[in-house]
Amino acid sequence: MVDVILGLQWGDEGKGKIVDYFAPKYDMIARFQGGPNAGHTLYVNDKKIVLHQIPSGVFHENTINLIGNGVVLDPITLRKECEAVASFGVDFRKNLYIAQRAHLIIPTHRALDRASETSKGNEKIGSTLKGIGPAYMDKTGRNGLRVGDLLDKSFTTQYIRLRLKHQKLLDGFNYHEDISQDEEEFFDALDFMRSFKIVNGEYFINDNLQKQKKVLAEGAQGSMLDVDFGTFPFVTSSNTISAAVCTGLGVAPQRIRDVIGVSKAYCTRVGSGPFPSELLDGIGEELRRIGSEFGATTGRPRRCGWIDLVALRYASMINGVTKIVMTKADVLDAFEELRVCTAYNVNGAKSEEIPFQMTRMHLEPVWQSFPGWKIDTSKINSCGNLPSAMKEYIRFIEGFLHVPISHISNGPGRDQLVVNG
């Protein structure tokens, strides 16, 4: 049995804490896509840590953690993450496994990312400049290096061949940054990685499923950043939806049971691209301030707005979401009035569908207002004690989406999660 946790917005929904909360119920946590552009924030013993590639179950001693084949893996970032995890007294080598078929991010991938994003005439996508896009391009172009290649004596030859291909592209961008220090750090990190448990990921996970082990698949970014179904071209370079679990881990569709979607009680986005419910006013600033809305990976200020139920219903549909965890509900404690976007006015006509290309049309949100509750909810630990106005807000969203909200997160702490029902 495989359950899935993934984001339903533009990422940064607070998935790390939610995976950490559910992890003790599972035998294995597996990342199935993305790379170090993801940042999953956890608080362990009241101390903050941000995981970028390591699954969020690493702090649970008896939980197996697998970095799946759908991930693009940066060895330098992985080493730094492992050192951060070790500072908590965790023996990461005991329960962290890496799939052979996961692709590697090499230093010239990051250089290509920077060259593309800063090149004159190129549309700025809002890349995190971590080399994700170029690594996935090499994967689909059949040029990439994989973790399993580390164990082959021809690895250095393969690396040089790929680097030369990248250099021609960098020359085309007129980009000549010295990356020799990055390369030295990269090869040191490869030596560090060779001591890991590198496994045939698809057999490893299916063998565990055959033994009736429970697996939780952990997604990165959010559904609205999916390369097929997101706000293209302002998307990430992988499929972020539940269908990617099958290709990103090597499991069959019938293995998937629950799909747990994570959504904030409002909405944020980092970087460029359409954001229909964005608030470019004092309320948006207040959401950012109260919610500490700055990117876990980049530190960039997040764009903020009211919750977009058109986008949320769309994401729930394409993922087959069975329940939703609503995060950061306590951020709304401060507001007299709340709004939700229930439709769009697209070129003068009302629509409840996500358009093919938002950037090519004039789009305005249709709002529905709700009273705020003006009560500190951060210390509430039972559903019955939630303010009636908050319950009304949640019931409306459940009715609109036709999906139950099973949990409500009312703070960053592990114990700040209310079971709804």
Query: Which residues are catalytically annotated?
Result: 12, 40
Alpha-carbon dihedral angle through residues 169, 171, 172, 174, given to the nearest 10 degrees: 130
Pairing between β-strand 323-327 and β-strand 28-31 as defined by DSSP bridges: unpaired
In this structure, what token pair is assigned to residue 377? 């909810």
Collapsed DSSP state (helix, strand, coil) of residue 289: helix
Kindly give, in sequence order, each residue whose CB lies less than 8 Å from that of residue 81, ignoring residues fewer than 6 positions away: 51, 52, 53, 54
Contact yes or no for 75/135 (Cβ under 8 A): no
Residue with tokens 């003068």: 348
Q: Is the dihedral of CA 317, 322, 326, 327 positive or negative?
A: negative
Query: What is the CB neighbour count within 10 angstroms for residue 108?
Result: 25
Greatest alpha-carbon pair distance for the chain in Å reads 65
Contact yes or no for 418/408 (Cβ under 8 A): yes
In DSSP terms, 408 is beta-bridged to: 326, 418
Give the start-end residues of each E strand in 177-233.
Answer: 197-199, 215-218
- DSSP class of residue 337 equals E
In DSSP terms, 282 is beta-bridged to: none
| Rounded (5°) CA angle 398-400-401 | 65
Contact yes or no for 315/261 (Cβ under 8 A): yes
Alpha-carbon dihedral angle through residues 275, 276, 282, 287, given to the nearest 10 degrees: -60
In this structure, what token pair is assigned to residue 75? 């060895």
Phi, psi of 296 (to 5 degrees): -65, -30
